[in-house]
Amino acid sequence: MGYLPSTAPERGRMLRALGLDDPEALFREIPAALRLGRPLALEPALSELELERELTDLARRNLSLDEVVSFLGAGAYDRFVPAIVDEVVRRSEFYTAYTPYQPEVSQGTLTAIYEFQSYVCALTGLDVANASMYDGASALAEAGVLACHATGRDRLVVSRAVDPVFRQVLGTYARGQGIRVSEAPLSGYRTDADATAQLTAGDVAGVIVAQPNFFGAIEDPEPFARRAHEVGALLIAVADPVGLAVLKPPGRFGADVAVGEAQSWGLPPSFGGPFLGYFAARRDLLRRLPGRIAGGTVDREGRVGYVLTFQTREQHIRRERATSNVCTNQALCALAATVYLAALGPGGLRDVAALSAAGARRARSRLAAVRGYEPMTEPFFQEFVTRSPVDPEELGPKLLERGILMGLPLAVHYPEFADRILWAVTERRTERDIDALGRALEEIA
Amino acid sequence: MTSLFASGPTRPGSYVPHAPEDALEGIPAAQRREDLDLPHMAEIEVARHFTALAHANYGIDTGIYPLGSCTMKYNPKVNEALSRLPGLARLHPYTPVERVQGALELMDRLARALREITGMDAISLQPAAGAQGELTGILMIRAYHEARGDAGRDQVIVPDSAHGTNPATAAMAGFQVVTVPSDARGGVDIDALERALSPRVAALMLTNPNTLGIFEDRIAEIAQRVHGVGGLLYYDGANLNAIMGITRPGDMGFDAVHLNLHKTFSTPHGGGGPGAGPVGVKAPLEPFLPTPVLEATADGYRFSWERPRSIGPVRSFFGNFGMLVRAYAYIRALGPEGLREASEQAVLNARYLKHRLADVLDVPYERDAMHEFVLSARSLQRATGVRALDLAKRLLDHGVHPPTVYFPLVVEEALMIEPTETESLQRLDGLAEAIRSVVAEARRDPDAVRRAPERTPVGRLDEVRAVRAPDLGARP
């Protein structure tokens, strides 16, 4: 099977027009010694019917969230997505378009990017946002680089309560640029404010805290912002997109930059990608932003339209002096997010956040009633930690037998929390689901 | 276009149940947000708004999209459907490994296919896009030199015809960028390269065929010289669509390569992503691959984080998995003959189109074009004042998407044209006729061309104003 429309006689005509009789002659500039000279060793072609069978078989060997009641989150969430989101995203005018280099025939993409930026600014309480980043983790890494460039310093302080995967990616980017990263310790499940303040010295470019943090705990971010600003550093907030609807936004607690993973805004978990990083900042950092930015303007007749703007920051103009090498980002995911946000509206977004928070409190209480599942203290948002009297390695399979996908065993990322589990509750979890979890834990104990 | 932020309120739909009044009681008052000033829209208005936006967009399904270096080939519909199977789309990345074996097998099969196509020894599917693939590859090269105690390699060489991401990437990986010029044949100037080579060179980044659509036929010699001073060769895979099954970067002497699955392997561009930028490397670089690394064991597949020399992850989890699914489906649908045929047709289409246009625009390089070619509007501009940009805008009035303009930077008034293999002879002739008629019009009535476009939803937009009076988002 293939997707070539040309017929054999047409190919013949084209070759003859070029004065060639053999298609092999098309490649005469490739030295013979470099030619492969054999067919690629790949499986033979499939028809669409066979392809569907093969992919369906592979898909069946995975545990879809449709088959279980999931309490697994930790950076990827089982959320409800209104049908209209995929309807819009599947319009080929959107998904088969390139980066909007010709704005006159790309107003759909550009307007949607502008709207996405508008939503990100409104939700984060910051002034400017870009068109998207690959994911939350790489958005944080770029934010760290921005802080170093903006302050002329080369050290970052990051809370250990920030998603460990984000911190690992930050580390990869930082090593590339000779940026040092200091980790601020935990106090319980929150960032140790005193220790962080001590680490935040005059050579620090940025302080990074999450709201809510990886454990689901709600931090008090203002002291971190004050301390960062005292020494001339930036406060970078990693903010959960659902939390933005009900928690004090980063722009109001003193953050200079906010980033996050916005998979929760209408994207399936898709085994970890494609995801959607958002990136917002104070206005004076505009010219240091990575990636694409759409802006409004007018044509000669005064009609409003949108273009990619402030492009002198970008790699295709500035080359080695660009703010980042990012080119292709996650435009279609940003479109999905924009449709999601538009459809749900402020009421729907608050309901999603409040249902998740209420469900998490209910689940925490239910688990507290099971011997050994001692939970963390409030305040938390939609995730919380409990101890587990059963080794999480053994508990997981037993819960799965009962149709429940366990939360994340924290041993994966925090050796000191080997007996603890991070549970996530989204708006999809019902009272019955939570009760089923409680009963299953009682049985297993 | 009007932004949805400018529309009046309508009654929103009901998507989730209302939360109980006391739902947020656990959140301290000091951390609560009470206001949320965002548009209220009924679903019908949301649907109409985005339908109107779709109508204002041009995609591959609208018509030919010959953007050079972008490989705008057809995006098969079946791949869209398959990537949405619940066992693939509704799969949580922290699901226990024994319950994601189908996904891991798919990734392994894709990685094997990409190894074979590129001639590399190991693949990471993690990078989210081409530029991130570049960063991954260059960070690995840096780690490789450091691990050997080979300090003092602080330079990366890029040709002047390179994509902007190459120098930007090298800088992000902490290197100084050394630019080498192209020679009169459109290839790397070997003498200039020789002068740039020294024990300070960590790598040379090269696209082959290059951005002029020309195959660097002295690549073996270039590789030998770079390796001779201890540097490595990085292959920018943006133009792999020309050579599948014909020649391989691994056989040309490259040590690391990234692929743009959203170019060569037909995953949709999405208006600027998501893409996917897997990286392939030769064995000596394998210990430095980003974590986690997919491993096949007797008990099935698993991910390994125990990689002491790894550069670490470049993004969360395992990559843009949904895009990997589509690329895998594409490779399976085409098979070995189909991939080679695709490259052959891509080159044939480009060569045919160049042949159809060589008499109306300047041909800066006479060498055989591969999958794309560069023409120049320099003579036309001198004669009429009409620039490459004007031609591009007038083409919009003919209902076709214009080629890339002003890239590569080494050609004045450049038009870079890549039709791809999924365009028929009729479509190619249609594009040729459209370009010829715009050039003829430029000679007859240059002002008409400079006024273009006239038949698009908006005319030429004032980009200076967009910077002077920034409007980067609506306030609710």
Q: What percent of chain A has pLDDT over 70?
A: 100
A428 to chain B: closest CA residue: B16
Q: Angle CA(B127)–CA(B132)–CA(B133) in degrees, nearest 5?
A: 65
Do B245 and A269 make contact, defined as CB atoms within 8 angstroms? no
Q: In this predicted model, what pLDDT tens digit does every residue of B41-58 receive, in sequence order?
A: 999 999 999 999 999 999
Which pLDDT score is estimated for A315?
86
Average pLDDT of every residue of chain A: 97
Q: In this predicted model, what pLDDT tens digit does every residue of B224-278 receive, in sequence order?
A: 999 999 999 999 999 999 999 999 999 999 999 999 999 999 999 999 999 999 9
Closest-CA distance, A348 to chain B, in angstroms, reads 7
Q: What is the DSSP letter of B20?
A: P
DSSP string, A268-298: --GGG-S--EEEEE-GGGGGG--S--EEEEE
**Are residues B400 and B431 in contact, defined by beta-carbon separation less than 8 angstroms?**
yes
A32 CB within 8 Å of a chain B CB? no
Residue with tokens 């940025």: A206
Residue B287 makes CB contacts below 8 A (sequence gap 6+) with B147, B307, B309, B310
pLDDT of A2 strictly over 90: no
Does the domain at A65-81+345-444 match CATH 1.20.1270.10? Answer given as no
- Per-residue CA distances from B264 to B70, B242, B298 (Å): 9, 9, 33
Which pLDDT score is estimated for A206?
98
Q: In this predicted model, what pLDDT tens digit does every residue of A330-362 receive, in sequence order?
A: 999 999 999 999 999 999 999 999 999 999 999
Find residues 127-146 of chain A whose CB sits inside 8 Å of chain B: 128-129, 131-132, 134-138, 145
Surface-to-core class of residue A427, CB atoms within 10 Å of its CB (0-12 exposed, 13-18 middle, 19+ buried): buried
Which pLDDT score is estimated for B361?
98
Average pLDDT of every residue of chain B: 97
CA A332: distance to chain centroid? Answer: 13
- Reported as half-sphere exposure (CB side, CA atoms, 13 A), residue B46 has a value of 27
Closest CA to A199 of A211, A213, A183: A183
pLDDT of B476 strictly over 80: no
Do A218 and B31 make contact, defined as CB atoms within 8 angstroms? yes
Backbone φ and ψ for B405, nearest 5 degrees, come out as: -120, 155
Surface-to-core class of residue A80, CB atoms within 10 Å of its CB (0-12 exposed, 13-18 middle, 19+ buried): middle
Does the domain at B341-451 match CATH 3.90.1150.10? Answer given as yes
Q: In this predicted model, what pLDDT tens digit does every residue of A67-114 receive, in sequence order?
A: 999 999 999 999 999 999 999 999 999 999 999 999 999 999 999 999
Q: Helices (DSSP H) in A369-391: which residue ranges? A: none
Which pLDDT score is estimated for B2?
79
Of B313, B368, B465, the CB nearest to A29: B368
What's the mean pLDDT in B292-308? 96
Helix, strand counts (H, E) of chain A: 13, 16
CA A135: distance to chain centroid? Answer: 4
CA A273: distance to chain centroid? Answer: 8
Indicate the helix (H) or strand (E) that contains B334: helix B321-357
Give the separation between CA B267 and CA A96, rounded to whole angstroms.
Answer: 9
Which fold, A84-339? Aspartate Aminotransferase; domain 2 (3.40.640)
Per-residue confidence band for A1, with pLDDT thresholds at 50, 70 and 90: low
pLDDT of A266 strictly over 70: yes
Closest-CA distance, A236 to chain B, in angstroms, reads 17
Determine the 3-state secondary structure of A53 from DSSP.
helix
Indicate the helix (H) or strand (E) that contains B323: helix B321-357
B280: left (phi over 0), alpha (psi -120 to 50) or beta: beta
Please report, for chain B, the start and end positions of each structural domain, with discontinuous segments joined by +.
78-333, 341-451
What's the mean pLDDT in A390-401? 97
Residue with tokens 């928690």: A247
Determine the 3-state secondary structure of B330 from DSSP.
helix
Which pLDDT score is estimated for A317?
85
What's the mean pLDDT in A164-193? 97
Strand spans (E) along A100-213: 128-129, 155-159, 180-184, 186-187, 190-191, 204-211
**Are residues A116 and A332 in contact, defined by beta-carbon separation less than 8 angstroms?**
no
Give the separation between CA A215 and CA A158, rounded to whole angstroms.
Answer: 15
Q: What is the DSSP letter of B9?
A: P
Give the separation between CA B162 and CA B13, rounded to whole angstroms.
Answer: 49
Indicate the helix (H) or strand (E) that contains B123: strand B122-124
A181 CB within 8 Å of a chain B CB? no
What's the mean pLDDT in A179-188? 97
Q: Identity (one letter) of the amino acid at B417? A: I
The torsion defined by the Cα of B77, B79, B80 and B85, in degrees rounded to 10, comes to: 130
Residues of chain A found within 8 Å of residue B2, distances taken between Cβ atoms? 304
Give the separation between CA A79 and CA A337, rounded to whole angstroms.
Answer: 13
Q: Which two tokens stand for residue A147?
A: 């802080």
Q: Identity (one letter) of the amino acid at A316? A: H
Cβ-based neighbour number of residue B179 at 10 Å:
16
What's the mean pLDDT in B414-443? 98
- Interface TM-score (ipTM) > 0.95: yes
Closest CA to B387 of B438, B319, B326, B457: B438
Give the separation between CA A115 and CA A131, rounded to whole angstroms.
Answer: 9
Per-residue confidence band for A320, with pLDDT thresholds at 50, 70 and 90: confident
CA A47: distance to chain centroid? Answer: 35
Strand spans (E) along B298-357: 300-304
What's the mean pLDDT in A397-411? 98
| A contact test, residue of B10, B57, B120, B211 with most A CBs within 10 A | B57
Query: Is omega for the bond preceding B419 within 30 degrees of 0, making it cis?
Result: no
Per-residue confidence band for A314, with pLDDT thresholds at 50, 70 and 90: confident
Cβ-based neighbour number of residue B358 at 10 Å:
13
Q: Identity (one letter) of the amino acid at A17? A: A
Summarize chain B as % helix, strand, coil (round to 5): 40, 15, 45
DSSP string, B356-383: HHTTTSB-S--SPP-S-EEEE-HHHHHH
Which pLDDT score is estimated for B7?
86
Do A122 and B78 make contact, defined as CB atoms within 8 angstroms? no
Which fold, B78-333? Aspartate Aminotransferase; domain 2 (3.40.640)
Per-residue confidence band for B420, with pLDDT thresholds at 50, 70 and 90: very high
Closest-CA distance, A124 to chain B, in angstroms, reads 11
Which pLDDT score is estimated for A48?
97
What's the mean pLDDT in A217-221? 98
A346 CB within 8 Å of a chain B CB? yes
Please report, for chain A, the start and end positions of each structural domain, with discontinuous segments joined by +.
65-81+345-444, 84-339
Give the separation between CA A206 and CA A235, rounded to whole angstroms.
Answer: 6
Residues of chain A found within 8 Å of residue B311, distances taken between Cβ atoms? 172, 175
